[in-house]
DNA sequence: CCTGCCTGCCC
DNA sequence: ATTCTGC
DNA sequence: GCAGAATGGGCAGGCAGG
């Protein structure tokens, strides 16, 4: 029953030990395999805050608005009371649990089953069009009115797909593999079974496809039973972060590897499937189907493919491109997403390819990058300005100057930096050293792919900003202020002008310091603006007295529809500036608040980009 | 039909 | 996306 | 080092309400 599942969630939440999480889930899934196999797939999806595989539509369209209405209708919680409770708990499930009242209904309640809850979530997701908000609300009310008190917390958390149990996809996969070993009484160690299941899932991320095969035939036959498939996206391989070119090179020096360096374009990652009938699917980094967004890419792919190419899965970066220049990520974002037709395209794009994972019926995942790259080149013909290969050079760790120069060029060409990829698997003869794999490893972040991004490097520009306000944190940050509103200084007007919120880079110890310093009741904080020197278009829950300076790092300066900093100084627009990827670096105790970065400085940084 | 809020998803 | 935390 | 969690700017799409 759903109550049992909620008890499992409670147990998971009560400990942070990963071993405990695994034991709890392994036992539970084992029991389901024996007594309630129909609930396995729903449990796998719900436990991982999803309702289906990522490449199918899987959002609920339920947010704070509908939740607020539901809490009001179910338990009579007013919106003022909701705000209070939310500030206190920082979790919608905890708020619902605290608000629970036995419904006065004379109708007999029927206990919730796992499949009933899951089916209802699916129906909520399918509900759309005029009146859909009320229809979704009705589904929610139906579940809530039949729920026991202990089910309320996780029901509401599932409505917003944020369970916060501490166990997600990797834990579920591990536990599923272990449970299948126990269930099938296989004479096998857990670890190879876990690896077999994960390998399968990462190249075919569908519990719907995998779980029935796992339960019937065990994890080891998945390699044959559940192979890479066209129009089912695999999880992309990821790159490890490095600090700068020299740190990256010193990592590779240990292995004496030869590698390729590629421009890291600032666009959207795309995985493109072509089948023998000429059907093309395009998937995003998170495996959303975005085929409808790029009819121009589809038509160019069909033109570019070599006569000998029947089918493939290739990967690249789609970049906004106006025929001669690469445009910013922000320009790409403004492109239409649904029902795009070839004659209605307003933002031109170019595709820069860098990998191929499947060709003419065969998986290439186990081929080294050097071979894959050759096959990629042979599988299609470049169409200049439409479909090209990423800009790249091959190098070894001795070529520091060459690589550094290439990195600088990439930044000048409006890229984020470079990707560095090992071309051939390094034969490991030295004991204790992990192999450096040149194969395509879905979902893995290995040292055989490394990122060097311009904003990671030490010389990257930073801003000195003044904190001017905050909100209540959620979840694990519920006891602290998060995010925090930051401002730059406008000396002309003698004002601190909001420029972005920030929630990254703070340690727990620093959060505690802030909680003490900006405690409610102190002179440092108020629900009303404390200082007439503060200007913000965005109203924080609490205003802070401007009194300290923090250094922050960022990816880019963006033109903002919301923030007004520098608005008079940005050409051709009345919009201000803001910050992409802001994160806290350190306090600047040596600076007074009027020594903070000025609006002019921000505008200069923007113009320099 | 238009506007503004909400939501999900790209980075 | 970035970053921190516990295991 | 893995796995999970919190949440940044900013966009289109979609719904509600005038």
Taking the CA of residue A483 and the C1' sugar atom of nucleotide C4, their distance in angstroms comes to 14
pLDDT at A430: 57
Q: Assess whether pLDDT exceeds 90 at residue A456.
A: no
Task: Point out the catalytic residue in the list A136, A198, A235, A264.
Answer: A264
Q: Assess whether pLDDT exceeds 80 at residue A499.
A: yes
> What separation in angstroms does the CA of A322 have from each of A267, A299, A301, A385, A544?
14, 17, 18, 9, 45
Per-residue confidence at A352, pLDDT binned at 50, 70, 90? Answer: very high
Domains of chain A: 239-457 (3.30.470.30), 462-607 (2.40.50.140)
Taking the CA of residue A145 and the C1' sugar atom of nucleotide D3, their distance in angstroms comes to 35
A264 is catalytic: yes
Q: Which nucleotide is nearest to A555 if distance is taken from CA to C1'?
A: C1
What does the pLDDT average to over A411-426? 95
Q: Which nucleotide is nearest to A160 if distance is taken from CA to C1'?
A: B7
What does the pLDDT average to over A411-435? 83
| Tens of pLDDT, residues A203-222 | 999 999 999 999 999 999 99
| Tens of pLDDT, residues A291-322 | 999 999 999 999 999 999 999 999 999 999 99
pTM score, whole prediction: 0.96
Taking the CA of residue A490 and the C1' sugar atom of nucleotide D15, their distance in angstroms comes to 40
A21-25's contacts with Cβ under 8 Å and 24+ in sequence apart are A21/A166, A21/A167, A21/A171, A21/A175, A22/A171, A22/A174, A22/A175, A22/A178, A25/A167, A25/A171, A25/A172, A25/A175, A25/A179
Out of A76-80, A107-111, A349-353, A401-405, least confident range = A107-111
| Tens of pLDDT, residues A471-486 | 999 999 999 999 999 9
pLDDT at A568: 80
Name the token pair of A153: 């917390």
Distance (Å, whole) CA A364 – CA A378: 14
What does the pLDDT average to over A235-251? 94
């Amino acid at each position: 029953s759903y109550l049992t599942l909620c008890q499992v969630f409670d147990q998971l939440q009560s400990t942070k030990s990963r071993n405990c999480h695994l034991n709890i889930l392994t036992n539970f899934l084992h029991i389901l395999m024996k007594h309630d196999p129909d609930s396995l797939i729903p449990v796998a999806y719900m436990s991982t805050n999803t309702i289906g595989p990522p490449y199918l539509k899987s959002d609920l369209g339920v947010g704070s608005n509908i939740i607020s209405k539901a809490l009001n209708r179910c338990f009579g919680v007013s919106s003022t009371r909701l705000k209070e409770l939310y500030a206190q708990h920082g979790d919608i499930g905890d708020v619902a649990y605290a608000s629970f009242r036995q419904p006065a209904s004379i109708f007999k309640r029927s206990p919730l089953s796992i499949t009933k809850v899951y089916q209802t979530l699916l129906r909520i997701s399918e509900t759309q069009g005029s009146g859909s908000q009320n229809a979704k609300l009705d589904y929610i009310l139906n579940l809530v009115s039949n729920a026991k008190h202990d089910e309320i917390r996780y029901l509401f958390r599932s409505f917003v797909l944020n369970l916060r149990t501490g166990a997600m996809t990797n834990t579920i996969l591990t536990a599923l593999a272990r449970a299948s070993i126990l269930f099938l009484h296989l004479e096998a160690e857990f670890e190879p079974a876990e690896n077999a299941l994960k390998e399968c899932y990462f190249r075919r991320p569908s519990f719907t496809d995998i779980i029935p095969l796992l339960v019937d035939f065990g994890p080891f036959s998945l390699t044959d039973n559940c192979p890479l498939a066209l129009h089912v996206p695999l999880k992309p391989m990821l790159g490890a972060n490095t600090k700068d070119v020299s740190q990256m090179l010193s990592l590779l020096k240990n292995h004496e590897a030869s590698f390729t360096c590629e421009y890291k374009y600032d666009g959207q990652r795309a995985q493109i499937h072509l089948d023998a009938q000429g059907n093309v699917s395009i998937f995003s980094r998170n495996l959303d189907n975005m085929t409808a967004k790029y009819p121009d890419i589809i038509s160019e792919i069909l033109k570019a493919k070599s006569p000998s190419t029947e089918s493939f899965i290739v990967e690249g970066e789609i970049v906004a491109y106006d025929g001669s220049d690469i445009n910013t990520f922000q320009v790409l974002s403004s492109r239409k997403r649904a029902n795009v037709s070839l004659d209605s395209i307003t933002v031109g794009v170019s595709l820069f390819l860098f990998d191929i994972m499947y060709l003419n019926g065969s998986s290439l995942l186990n081929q080294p990058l050097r071979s894959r790259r050759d096959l990629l080149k042979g599988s299609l013909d470049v169409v200049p300005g439409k479909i090209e290969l990423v800009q790249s050079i091959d190098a070894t760790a001795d070529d520091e100057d060459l690589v550094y120069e290439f990195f600088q060029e990439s930044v000048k060409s409006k890229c984020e930096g470079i990707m560095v990829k090992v071309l051939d698997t390094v034969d490991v003869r030295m004991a204790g050293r992990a192999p450096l794999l040149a194969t395509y490893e879905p979902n893995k972040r290995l040292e055989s792919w490394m990122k060097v991004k311009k904003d990671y490097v030490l010389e990257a520009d930073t801003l000195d900003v003044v904190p001017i306000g905050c909100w209540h944190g959620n979840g694990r940050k519920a006891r602290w202020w998060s995010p925090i509103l930051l401002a730059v200084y406008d000396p002309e007007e003698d004002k601190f002008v909001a420029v972005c919120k920030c929630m990254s880079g703070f340690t727990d110890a620093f959060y505690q310091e802030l909680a003490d310093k900006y405690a409610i009741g102190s002179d440092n904080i108020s629900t009303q603006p404390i200082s007439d020197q503060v200007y913000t278009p965005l109203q924080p829950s609490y205003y802070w007295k401007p009194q300290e300076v923090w250094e922050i790092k960022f990816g880019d300066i963006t033109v903002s529809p919301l923030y007004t900093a520098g608005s008079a100084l940005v050409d051709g627009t009345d919009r201000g500036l803001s910050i992409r990827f802001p994160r806290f670096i350190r306090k600047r105790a040596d600076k007074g608040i009027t020594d903070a970065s000025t609006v002019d400085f921000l505008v200069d940084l923007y113009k320099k980009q």
